[in-house]
Amino acid sequence: AAQLSKAGICVVSGFAHGIDRAAHQGALREIGSTIAVLGTGPDLIYPAINKDLWRQISAQGLIISEFAPGTKPEGNNFPHRNRIVSGLALGVLVVEGALASGSLITARLALAQGREVFALPGPANLKTYQGCHQLIREGAGLVQDAADILQELEPVLGRIVSGAKVESVPQKEPTDQDQLVIFRYLHTQGPTQIDALTRHVHWPADKVSSILLLMEVQGWVVQHPGMVYSLGT
């Protein structure tokens, strides 16, 4: 993070303890900019151990949240806020993550948003790196140092500076088979509450939530109050 910050890259992370904290600190150490995306209301410092980091980012960077003041750190908030982390970024680096980790959710969101995805390899026998290895097998950029990321982002940075736009070809339906099941059900049934949708597809609730989150980012579905979903316009 420090090397990227030194090169003029703003580091975006989730303000959690551990890798997130290290990323923010690395950027601040080089007098660079960093953005913390919270999974709580903007008035809560969570985890409390990051109180010192909160003060530093407030003075030197940016702290943002989509949640209302007073919102507690509920479990579903964190994977949901990850779409903002990836959406703000040119590329997403997964430093560590198991196969079912939030880091992989962020990587999937980044791909759906057309962002670059990078992963740091680790020991083959550690489950905490299995997610990284899977991403690399699927085509994520293998990263050994910051230079690898800067080299890959150079064409993207060039397009931004020149103001070039990348046109996308609209699709009628999702190509992912799981998304297609949900898409066609909502097309037939109309707005549906998430519990009813979960009962219909017979999938675990966390799987349905993850798929809907990706579909929301891609514009296939829209979430309404009460966790009701309908097709996007």
CB 105 within 8 A of CB 82: yes
Sheet with 221-224, edge to edge strand ranges: 192-193, 228-231, 221-224
| 74 within a domain of the structure (yes/no) | yes
pLDDT score at 5: 87
| 169 within a domain of the structure (yes/no) | no
CB 94 within 8 A of CB 104: yes
Q: Compute CA 166 distance to the chain's CA centroid, rounded to the nearest angstrom.
A: 21
- Residue 205: C-alpha distances to residues 28, 185, 195, 208 (Å): 38, 16, 8, 5
Annotate 112-151 with b (16+ C-beta within 10 A) or e (fewer).
bbebbbbbbebeeeeeebbbbbbbbeeebbebeebeebbe
In this prediction the pTM is 0.71
pLDDT score at 166: 44
Report the first-to-last Cα separation within the chain, whole angstroms.
Answer: 38
Q: Could you report the average pLDDT of every consecutive run of 10 residues in the chain (233 residues)?
A: 87 95 93 92 95 93 93 90 92 94 90 92 94 95 92 73 50 86 93 94 89 84 90 83
| 94 within a domain of the structure (yes/no) | yes
Tally of structural domains, the chain:
2
pLDDT score at 160: 53
Same domain (yes/no): 129, 182:
no
CB 27 within 8 A of CB 10: yes
Same domain (yes/no): 81, 186:
no
- What CATH number is given to the structural domain containing 144? 3.40.50.450
Give the separation between CA 36 and CA 179, rounded to whole angstroms.
30
- Encoding tokens for residue 226? 């009460």
| 168 within a domain of the structure (yes/no) | no
Residue range of the domain that includes 227: 177-231
